[in-house]
A and B are shown apart, each in its own frame.
Chain A
Amino acid sequence: MLSFTVSRTLFCAARRTSLRPTVAALAATRGYRGNAQEPNLIEVPLPPWQEKKGESLDIKRKRLLYESRKRGMLENCILLSLFAKRYLESMNETQLRQYDRLINEPSNDWDIYYWATEAKPTPEVFQGEVMDMLKEFTKNRDKEQRLDAPNLEYLDKSCH
C-alpha cells in the first residue's frame, strides 16, 4: 500500500517515537480509556495494495470510473474524473493496470495531486505511460475551464 519512501519515513518516525518515554499517566477523569499500553508502539504499516485478479476489462473500467470520481479531496475528484472521461474508455489492459495502481496504491491523495502537478517527483514505482498522460493532461495546455467533475452522461450510449 505504501511506497517505499513513505513507509521508510514512517518507520523512522516510529523509531523516534518508541525511543521517547511513553506518556503514562493520561487524564484520569471520566474513566479515560483507550491508551493502548502495549510493549511495542511502532506504527503498523498498512496492508500492501494488491491487484484484483480475474476482473474483466469492462468491470475494471467501471470500477476505475467510480474510484476516479470519488476521491479524498476536491482537486483530485475534478482532475481524475476529467482524466477518466478523456482516457478511460480507450485505455488498453496495461494502461488500465497502471492507472489502477496509481490511484489505489498511494495512501495520501495529496501525493497523487503533487505528482500530477509535478510539485513533487513521482516515485519510480508509479512512473510510466499513464503517469505521463496524467501529467500532460494536468498541464491544461488548451486552457480549458475545469469547473467541475463532468456528469456521467457521456457514457450514456442511448443518446449518441
Chain B
Amino acid sequence: MAAVFSASRVLGKKILPSKPLLTFCPAIRKLHFYINGKRGDAKVTDAMSMHYPVVDHEFDAVVVGAGGAGLRAAFGLSEAGFNTACVTKLFPTRSHTVAAQGGINAALGNMEEDDWRWHFYDTVKGSDWLGDQDAIHYMTEQAPAAVVELENFGMPFSRTEDGKIYQRAFGGQSLKFGKGGQAHRCCCVADRTGHSLLHTLYGRSLRYDTNYFVEYFALDLLMEGGECQGIIALCMEDGSIHRFRAKNTVIATGGYGRAYFSCTSAHTSTGDGNAMVARGGLPCQDLEFVQFHPTGIYGAGCLITEGCRGEGGILINSEGERFMERYAPNAKDLASRDVVSRSMTIEIREGRGVGPEKDHVYLQLHHLPPQQLATRLPGISETAMIFAGVDVTKEPIPVLPTVHYNMGGIPTNYKGQVITYKDGEDKVVPGLYACGEAGCASVHGANRLGANSLLDLVVFGRACALTIAENNTPGEKIAPLKANAGEESVANLDKMRFANGNTRTSEIRLNMQKTMQSHAAVFRTGEVLKEGCVKMDALYQTLDDIRTFDRGIVWNTDLVETLELQNLMLNAMQTINAAEARKESRGAHAREDFKASQLIGERVDEYDYSKPMQGQDKKPFNKHWRKHTLSYIDPKTGKVTLEYRPVIDDSLNAEDCAAIPPAIRSY
C-alpha cells in the first residue's frame, strides 16, 4: 500500500497545493530589435512572459541530486522520519552512478584475511597524504557494515560458492599495510554495480515516502545570514519556479567532467552543486585535482578499458612507435594509469601526436587475431565503430587521456557538514551538507583509488542522514523564507532565456572545453597554466554576450544547457586558477616544472620525507603545499580568490587506528 501511495507521489510530482503564492517580475528587460531582419527578430507577441509563477514547499530536508549519494541520504532521512524532498534533473536510475561497472571496496575478509586498517592505509597513501585521515578512518571502518547493509536491502552482490560476497582485486589495494601483496576487497554486482545500487536505494526510499521532484533543475541555494535555508528550482515540465524551504539541504550533484573537451562522464556532469555553493559565497576545495584515465576515445571520451592493453593492445605515436617501451621499459603499456597518461601527453607535446591537429595517439588492436578481439573484447569493437567510425580489425583507435573523476568539491567534515575555514578553524555552515563526488570530505585527497568512489557515496550519503537525524527533529518549525528570496536566480534565468548577444552557448562551451583540455590537462606547466587562466578569464567575460534561441519555458533544453554552462564555467575558473597556484606535483596534479624525475612528481611537504626527519626544520604553513586549496569565485567578474586549510592528520581514534605519517609514495 505504501508502495502504491509512493507511486502516485512519484508520478504526481507536485504534492503541496500549487496555488502560486507570488510571482516574480524581473527588472525591465531590454528587447533587442534587429531592423535589418537578420536575426533574433523579437516579436512582442512571441509569448515572452514577464511573470514566473512560484510554488513554495516546506520540508524537513531537501536533497539535491538522486545518484548513489543523494538516494542514500534521502533514504536515510526518510527512514528516520524526516519529511524529505529529493530534487533531481534526471530520473534517479538515470544518474551517472549507473555508468559505474566496477564495485565497492570493503574489508569483509571473504577472500582472504583482511582488516579495514589496511584499507585505511591504502587510501591514505593513494591520496598522496592530502586526504583527511579522520574521514578516511570513518569511511574504511564503516565500509563492511555499509556493504552488509546494502546486501540486506536486497542488492544482489556476486557470490562465491559458499554464498559469501565475492570480492576481487583492484588497483592500489594491498594487505598488511602494503607488505602483504594484492588485496581482494572489491564487491560487485556482475558488471552493473552502479545500476543495482541506484535501483535498490530508489526502491527502498519510496517505501519510506520520500518525495521526488524529478526533472526539476536546481538553480541556487537560498542563503540567509550565512545559513542555508533551502533551494530554488525550475520545473522543466511546466516552467514554474519552486522554492524548497528546509532546515537541512544536502548537495549530491556529482562532478564536473564536462568542463573538459574529453571526459568519460555523461553530459549531465556539470558541477551544478559546486556552482550553487560558489554563488552562495562559499568555497570549493581542491578543485585542481582531476583524475585522468589514459584511454578514452578521442573526442567522444568513452572509456576504453585497461583490459585492452591487458590483451595485447599497444599505444603508438605518429611514427608508428610503441612509445611506452621508452617510458616504462618493464611494464610498457600496462604501467600505472598516471604514468601512461603522462607518457601520452609528453609524446603529443613533443609533436609526435596523430590526426590533423596532432593532438592524440593511437591504440592499436589490429595486430591481435580477430577471433581474440571478438571473444575477449566485444564491447570495444562496437564502441570503436559507433563513436570513432573505426574498424578495430583494420585501423587503430584514436585515444587521449580523459578526465574521469573530480577529487575536489564542496569541503565537508567527516560527518558530511559543509565547512568554511575562518580564523584558523573549521566552521560548520548551518543547514548545509554535501556528499558523493560533489563533496570533498576529503577521502580521496590528491588521487582516488578505484572502487572507493561507490563506497564514498554510500558512506557519506548515510553520514549526512545520520548527522541531520542527530541534530534535528522531524517536523521542526522553521522561519519562513523572505518574500523575495531567490529573486536573483530567477532574474538570471530570465536573462539567459532571452539572451540575444553574439556568441552561442555551444561556442563558449567548446572554447572552454578546449582551453581546459590544452592548459589544465595531465601535465601542467607554469606558463601554460598562466596562459590558460588569462584565456579562461576572457572567455568568462563572453558569457555576458551569450545567445540562446529557445524562448519557451517548457522543456527548454537550450536554457538548461546554458545554465549548466554557467555552472561549468565557475568550476573551470576555480580549477585552473588553483592549479596555477599550486607549485608542486602531488597525486593527479602533475607539474612539469616541479618534478623529481620525468615521471615522478615532487611534493613540497612540511618536511622532506625522503630524508630522515631529524635535523630538519618544519616548513611554515605558507611555505609548503601539503594543504587543501579553498577557492572562492565572484560570479559577476569571474575573479578567483584562493585560501588554504591544513590537512587533518589524526584519525578519529588513535587507539583504534593509528594515523599514517607521510612518506614517499612508491608502489
Contacts and interface: CB of A to CB of B under 8 A. Distances in A.
Please determine whether chains A and B interact with each other in the same assembly: yes
Interface range for A: 35 or more
A26 B94 contact: no
B298 interface: yes
Interface string A18-58: 00101100110111111110000111111110100000000
A119 B389 contact: no
Interface in A135-160: 138-140, 143-149, 151-153, 155-159
A140 B65 CA distance: 34
A146 B386 contact: yes
B298 A147 contact: yes
Contacts of B203: 43-46
B149 A35 contact: yes
Interface range for B: 35 or more
A34 B382 CA distance: 42
Interface string B78-106: 01100000000111011111110000000
A108 to B, nearest CB: 4
Contact of A23 (B79, B91, B151, B206): B151
B153 A13 contact: no
B96 A66 contact: no
Nearest to A55: B237
Given A73-B99, A74-B264, A146-B387, A104 B300 contact: no
Interface string B1-23: 00100110011000000000000
- Which of A72, A77, A119, A146: most chain B Cβ within 10 A? A72
A90 interface: no
A155 B550 contact: yes
A140 B300 contact: no
Contacts of B215: 66
Contacts of A23: 148, 151-152
Contacts of B469: 33
B26 interface: no
B379 interface: yes
Contacts of B300: 74, 78, 146-148
A74 B152 contact: no
Contacts of A119: 378-379, 382
- Which of A41, A42, A73, A159: most chain B Cβ within 10 A? A73
Nearest to B41: A158
A93 interface: no
Contacts of B91: 104
Given A59-B554, A72-B99, A149-B267, A107 B93 contact: yes
A47 to B, nearest CB: 3
A8 interface: no
Interface stretch (B137-145, B420-428, B434-442, B583-591): B137-145
B206 A34 contact: no
A60 to B, nearest CB: 9
Interface SS of B by simple majority: helix
B156 interface: yes
B207 interface: yes
Contacts of B149: 26, 34-35
Contacts, number: 208
B364 interface: no
Contacts of B561: 152
Contacts of A34: 76, 79, 149, 462, 465-466
B387 A153 contact: no
B98 A109 contact: yes
A26 B145 contact: yes
Nearest to B3: A44
Nearest to B263: A74
A129 interface: no
B266 A77 contact: yes
Given A110-B192, A158-B40, A27 B145 contact: yes
Given A14-B154, A43-B203, A158 B98 contact: no
A75 interface: yes
Nearest to B264: A74
B385 interface: yes
B335 to A, nearest CB: 25
B202 A138 contact: no
A73 to B, nearest CB: 4
Interface string B282-299: 000000000000000011
A27 B549 contact: no
Interface of A: 10, 13-14, 16-17, 20, 22-23, 26-27, 29-36, 41-48, 50, 59, 62-63, 65-66, 69-79, 81, 104, 107-110, 117, 119, 138-140, 143-149, 151-153, 155-159
Given A72-B96, A107-B199, A159-B549, 6 more contacts: A62-B555, A109-B93, A119-B382, A138-B386, A155-B549, A159-B39
8 contacts: A14-B154, A22-B152, A47-B10, A70-B94, A72-B90, A72-B94, A73-B99, A153-B506
